[in-house]
Structure 1
Amino acid sequence: MNDLEELRKGIALFNNREFFECHEVLEDQWRHEMSDLKDLYQAIIKIAVGFYHAERKNYVGAGKVLRKGLHQIEPYLEPGRAEFLELHPFVDQCTQCLAELERAEQGFFPFDTSHIPKLRWASDKRPPPASH
């Protein structure tokens, strides 16, 4: 499989809420990535792990990892970085989930996993070529 196929597979797993499997696929890709997308892979991995914990009601762990992933993905919101993904709505929705997780941590109500966003491909942008 080439880099793009692995990224597509990882994102498909994320969108199917198979967060552990997404982590496994993208972690291997992240280890071999040589381009400036390396941190993007790691950010998506952290966000997936955060939601993995959220589904298991480990709200404290979920919040910590999700917060780190959101911080790491911020540079990719800049124009020209990862325009092949619709990151702005994804990050906005993840940020809303983080706020919900913080309320769930305090025992107000359980986290509603139906709010977990999907990561979408931008329809008018092509992903970068393979890095190896």
Structure 2
Amino acid sequence: MTEEIPLAFWQGVEEFNQQEFYTCHDTLEALWMEASEPEKKFYQGVLQIAVGLYHLSQKNWKGAVILMGEGLGRLNYYYPDYSGINVEQFIDETSQLLKALQNAGAENVETFLPLMQPQGTVQGLKLPKIQKVIGNGE
């Protein structure tokens, strides 16, 4: 049985997947501040990746790389899935983007801005999405 996740978390997921990263940050931060473990660390990991992607949208390479890396570090604990979320896929997509950003370097951060467009891709990458686990009887 999965843990009961508050509706506000699913609102944050929707905001994340709509690339409303700053709004997602606000939604998840309120949950994170009130949560206890293990949910607290999970919310924080997702929150940090959202903020990292917000930094990317603002051409802040350092902020994007640091926060995405910290978020990934927190989410590894919840691999492969947690509370109906496909953590494995989320980690994989975020890790690929982080690696590409690190390889490109700060001077090339603008080459990743097309990712912020609907269906945008760069070097075969898309922005990470938070997906539900498929096939668990829901």
Please confirm whether the aligned pair reaches a TM-score higher than 0.5, indicating the same fold: yes
Instruction: Identify which range, 46-55 or 27-36, moves more after superposition.
Output: 27-36
- Give deviations 1:74-105, integer Å, cap 9, x for gaps: 00005xx6151111111111001001211332
Q: Distance in 2 between matches of 1:117 and 1:51?
A: 9
Match of 1:53 among 49, 52, 55: 55
- Per-residue deviation at 1:4? 2.0
Equivalent residues in 2 for 1:27-106, closer than 5 Å: 27-77=29-79, 82-106=82-106
Asked if 2 retains the 8 angstrom alpha-carbon contact of 1:3 and 1:29, the reply is no
Q: Given that residues 65 and 102 in structure 2 are in contact (C-alpha distance below 8 angstroms), is that contact kept between their aligned partners in structure 1? A: yes
The percent identity for this pair of structures is 28
Report the TM-score, using the length of structure 1 for normalisation: 0.83
Whole-Å separation in 2 of the counterparts to 1:35 and 1:71: 16
Q: Look up the equivalent residue of 2:84 and give its one-letter code.
A: F
Q: Is the 8 A contact 2:62 2:106 kept in 1?
A: no
Distance 1:104 1:56, change over 3 A: farther
Asked whether the 8 Å contact 1:84–1:126 carries over to 2, the reply is no
Q: Which has the higher contact order (CA 8 A, sep 6+)?
A: 1
Contact 2:85 2:130 in 1 (8 A): yes
Judge conservation of contact 1:83–1:125 (CA < 8 Å) in 2.
no
Structure 2: any 5+ residue segments left out of the alignment? 121-125
> What root-mean-square deviation, in Å, do the aligned CA atoms of Structure 1 and Structure 2 show?
2.2
Q: What corresponds to 1:130 in structure 2?
A: none
Q: CA deviation at 1:107?
A: 3.1
Q: How many residues align?
A: 124
Give the gaps of 5 or more residues in structure 1.
128-132
| In the alignment, structure 1 residue 21 sits paired with structure 2 residue 32 | no
Partner Cα separation in structure 2 for residue 13 and residue 126 of structure 1? 25
> TM-score, normalising length from structure 2?
0.80
- The farther-off stretch of 101-110 and 114-123 is 101-110
Q: Is the 1:97–1:116 Cα contact (8 Å) retained in structure 2?
A: yes
